[in-house]
Amino acid sequence: DFGTGYSSLGYLRAYPFDGIKIDKRFIASISSGSNDRAVVQAIIGLGKAMGLTVTAEGVETEEQLDILGVDQCNEVQGYFMSRPIDKIAFARLLHDSRGAQLKSKKGRVT
């Protein structure tokens, strides 16, 4: 999780990762003109250069989702896609036409 006290660039070399996550604190202000967008772009670029899947946590708005799409983030997680749900509700969501539309319009949803 980049953006938390437990992340370090050194860990990327020391451990066998297949993906990295961008902490929601960077995503929250990605559209506000802060330096957070530059940090997010750098993490995405680093992850792609290392062959890692990059996941953005805490996506809560369509604007954030659109920015992450432009920046080519592999995966997103957050309340914009869905609040936490149990497995029965998740199975229903997979068959729901709105869920299918979201998947087809915005790419992979995790």
Catalytic residue, candidates 57, 60, 62, 63:
57
Q: What is the DSSP letter of 4?
A: B
Run of H or E including 19 = strand 19-22
Q: What is the DSSP letter of 2?
A: B
Bridge partners of 76, per DSSP, are 56
pLDDT for the residue 100:
57
What residue type is 89 in one-letter code? A
| Nearest in space to 24 (alpha carbons), one of 55, 56, 47 | 56
Output 95-99 pairs: Cβ under 8 A, ≥24 positions apart. none
The model carries a pTM of 0.75
Q: Pull the structure tokens for residue 26.
A: 């960077």
The tens digit of pLDDT for each residue in 60-94 reads: 999 999 999 999 999 999 999 888 889 888 788 77
Please say if the pLDDT value at position 56 is more than 70: yes
pLDDT for the residue 93:
76
Q: Where are the domains of the chain?
A: 9-81
Please say if the pLDDT value at position 104 is more than 60: no
* Residue 57 is among the residues annotated as catalytic for this protein: yes
